[in-house]
Amino acid sequence: MTTTTETTTPTVTAPRITATVYFQVWQNNYAVTVDQATFDATSLYEAMSVKDRAAIEDNRDSSDNIYLDAVERGLVAAWHDRPFYVDIADAIEEYLEAKAA
């Protein structure tokens, strides 16, 4: 009698950087979040210089520029001259930790 054993190999996905952009509108001189979107920023991050990568902070020009580049490449919708902010720093840290493992 012959028995066969099935084994499954877990799917391993490459680490990615998922950024979140928060779209806002002005209400009584305050920027209020009304929507959000996520996008894969991995290729944008990898294309940056080491100096520019090190300068990335949430809710700053450095992270805003990643979103604007993603818009140019069609990776995420444009928010047409309204306020927004981007969260990406934690995702970058997780990405770098996963790559180093």
| pLDDT single digits (tens) 45-66 | 999 999 999 999 999 999 999 9
Contact 82, 57 (CB under 8 A): no
pTM for the whole structure: 0.82
What are the phi and psi torsion angles at 72 (to 5°)? Answer: -60, -35
- Interatomic CA distance for residues 72 and 33, integer angstroms: 22
Backbone angles phi, psi at 52, to 5 degrees: -65, -40
Residue indicated by tokens 């028995």: 3
Confidence of residue 6 (pLDDT cuts 50, 70, 90): low
Question: What residue ranges do the domains of the chain occupy?
Answer: 18-100
